[in-house]
């Protein structure tokens, strides 16, 4: 079991109680399962009685299969800010799918899961979902959870579709290439008509390519502001015509203006 080296993206940093204990680990997925899954993740938290903490993030265009509170749920792509209010003590373990990786298992457009959370049993049936839930619940640690999750999904998942490699390349470009700020730039890389690209993304990923580009650029904005870069510089790099437009988009998703977040 190997920890993922790259730092996480999209986490919104916010004040927390001084006695709030929180861990977040991500683990690599071994081939051939790595063609469909990006990584496993695990979180634990502990708060004193009566204390609460709201943990927020700007989610990726990914489906998560999350074991938490004794249940397993499929979490669709959230188009807004995702917030979980934590209380007491708890633990969660999840499989994070690559964009498009859940489509062969779902057997329906991934857009049907957007902004929704459904029981895993709704997708694969009660018997299989119960078996996975019980395997994770009886695991003694993350190493065993990763081992059992790997066995389960290796047997369950169909092979990736033929265009999975192209989709992965487009997502990787939108993630890492900060010069990509428009759908036209991504369309040119795909060599597809715009409407064809839009239909493909809604079917396989659950969102539009424009949404994906904007989300990854806002991930970049979070990191840049945490590094105390100027707001005007960040807005310009992300392709905004003016600082005010960037500030409106940032506040709408993060919940606070960029000036306050930078402080």
Return the pLDDT at 160.
87
Q: What angle do CA 217, 25, 215 make, to 5 degrees?
A: 15
Domains of the chain listed by start with CATH number: 21-156 (2.60.120), 164-262 (1.10.10.60)
Tokens matching residue 208: 């539009």
CA 236, 241, 242, 246 torsion-angle sign:
negative
How far is Cα 56 from Cα 107, in angstroms, rounded to an integer?
30
pLDDT at 237: 86
**Predicted TM-score of the model (pTM):** 0.93
pLDDT digits (tens, 9 = 90+) for 164-199: 989 999 999 998 888 888 999 999 999 999 999 999
Pairing status of strand 71-75 against strand 64-68: antiparallel
Which one, of 123, 118, 111, 117, lies nearest residue 153 by Cα? 123
Read off the pLDDT of residues 139-148 as tens digits, 9 standing for 90 and up.
999 999 999 9
From first to last of its 263 residues, what are the pLDDT tens digits of the chain?
A: 899 988 888 999 888 888 899 999 999 999 999 999 999 999 999 999 989 999 999 999 999 999 998 899 999 999 999 999 999 999 999 999 999 999 999 999 999 999 999 999 999 999 999 999 999 999 999 999 999 999 999 999 998 888 898 999 999 999 888 888 899 999 999 999 999 999 999 999 999 999 999 899 899 999 999 999 999 999 998 888 889 999 998 998 899 999 999 88
How far is residue 73's CA from residue 129's CA, in Å, rounded to a whole number? 9
């Amino acid at each position: 079991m190997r920890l993922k080296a790259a730092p996480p993206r999209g986490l919104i940093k916010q004040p927390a109680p001084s006695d709030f204990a929180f861990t977040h680990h991500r683990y690599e997925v071994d081939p051939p399962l790595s063609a469909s899954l990006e990584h496993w993740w695990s979180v634990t938290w502990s708060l004193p009685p009566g204390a609460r903490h709201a943990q927020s993030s700007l989610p990726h265009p990914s489906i998560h299969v999350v074991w938490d509170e004794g249940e397993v749920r499929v979490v669709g792509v959230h188009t807004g800010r995702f917030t979980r209010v934590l209380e007491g003590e708890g633990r969660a373990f999840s499989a994070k799918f690559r964009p498009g990786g859940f489509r062969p298992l779902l057997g329906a457009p991934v857009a049907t899961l957007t902004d929704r959370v459904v029981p895993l049993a709704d997708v694969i049936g009660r018997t299989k979902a119960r078996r996975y839930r019980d395997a994770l619940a009886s695991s003694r640690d993350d190493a065993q959870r990763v081992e059992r999750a790997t066995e389960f999904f290796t047997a369950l998942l169909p092979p990736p579709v033929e265009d999975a490699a192209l989709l992965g390349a487009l997502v990787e470009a939108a993630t890492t290439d900060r010069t990509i700020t428009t759908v036209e730039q991504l369309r040119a890389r795909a060599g597809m008509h715009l409407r064809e690209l839009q239909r493909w993304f809604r079917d396989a990923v659950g969102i539009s390519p424009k949404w994906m580009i904007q989300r990854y650029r806002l991930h970049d904005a979070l990191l840049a502001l945490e590094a105390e870069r100027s707001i005007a510089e960040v807005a310009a790099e992300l392709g905004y015509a003016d600082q005010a437009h960037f500030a409106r988009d940032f506040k709408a998703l993060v919940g606070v203006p960029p000036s306050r977040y930078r402080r």
